[in-house]
Structure 1
Amino acid sequence: MTTSESGRSGEIGEGTDQPGYLAAVTDLLGALAYGELRAFSQLARDADLAPTLRHRSALATLAAHELKNYAVLTERLQSLGVEPETAMEPFVPAVDAFHERTSASDWLEGLVKAYVGEGIAQDFYREISRYVDDATGSLVVSVLEDTGQADFAVSVVREAIAADPRLAGRLALWGRRLVGEAITQAQRVGVERDALASILVGAPGRAGADLAELGRMFVRLTDEHSRRMERLGLSA
């Protein structure tokens, strides 16, 4: 079974002797770590906009979860002999640009962004995790595991729309904008760093995805976005 068929290439020590593989894993973990750090900051700010103490408390709990994930990722980078800040730095422009272009105007837009926008980025990293070693892949999947964020966002947005159906149109437009910006960010992150791109496209001694599979990957990202929008009660 090839790497592309199994989605794994063995333990982390087994893969790092391949040319560029440690750099590729460093990029993947660095991109994820900075994404978690920005998600923590964003959720903490969104908590200040929450209309009730219950909502503020829930967002603070979600923010704490993102910070925990950040700590797990930085610890793994340090165990590989990599400074976390060095690994994250290349991804600051793309991630920051995404957040600057998608600044929410209110509490509900912030929730949709956290669920829809961040969800697309997480799906992208799950796709990449299919082509790395078992240890790294398991770490990525565990960090991206939903611990109640989705149910919270869905319930709050649906309650708001039920109370004021006019919100549905505005939030649907916002969700469509987010998918375009998030996919642009994923493409930028994936192509600007050769080491990270090599996980997807492969390298000597390590199989990756062919062009057809890359196309199917972005179809899956779009399809999952549509499912998230449906859960929110919004048209994709």
Structure 2
Amino acid sequence: MNATDRTPADLLRSALAADPARPLLTYYDDATGERVELSVATFANWVAKTANLLQGELSAEPGERVALLLPAHWQTAVWLLACSSAGVVADIGGDPAAADHVVAGPGRFEDGLACGGDRIALSLAPLGRRFPAPPAGYADYAVEVPSQGDRFAPYAPVDPEATALIVAGAAYTGAETVEQARSDAAGLDLTGPGSRILSALPYDTWEGLSAGLYAPLATGGSVVLCHHLDRLAEDRLAQRIDSERVTATAR
């Protein structure tokens, strides 16, 4: 990663320039058996499409707040980086009534209706499947995102000193997000390129976001993000750690 990177979106651009083919995020759901592996290039493509959806279709402007009512999931990570790319604030679990837009997953659709702005629903089903019919009051992410452009350019440069993230009541600028992620890396045993952390932490705390996305991104590493890991037997976990070449864990 480059010392000049000031936002999470900058980190992703640097990762794409350095090695687009390497794995960046591998997602497991041990309730469904789902496994999804995203290279840097594939992840960046999802981010670009989602940022174009935000900026173009939702008309989200820098500084507006997007309430993300989502668990730790690969599509949540995409939305976090898309928000950074467009200069909008990603508010993890934030109050929908105080947000300009809301992105919600199963179990949170009713809560999200409190938002008076645009509402996007994610099925979080394997392979990112569409809803048979989207929840009332929502557009289906899986319907809206495929037609978006594969490259993204913000209408205005993103200010690294502007608020970019709110989690557990704490606000971080883009620069603070990058700096804190870099600072966390040593404590997470992320030593640089090739480091691979398995994280089962939720995304509703800074610690979960750092281990499960920002710190590996900031150090040229990768993450194995596990949902419902408590359903996996210890011997199977050991096999996963070995097969995925995991070098560190956060549980």
Class of the TM-score when normalised by the shorter of the 2 chains:
under 0.3
Structure with bigger gyration radius = 1
Relative to the length of structure 2, the TM-score reads 0.22
Identify, as 1 or 2, the structure richer in helix: 1
Relative to the length of structure 1, the TM-score reads 0.23
Identify, as 1 or 2, the structure richer in strand: 2
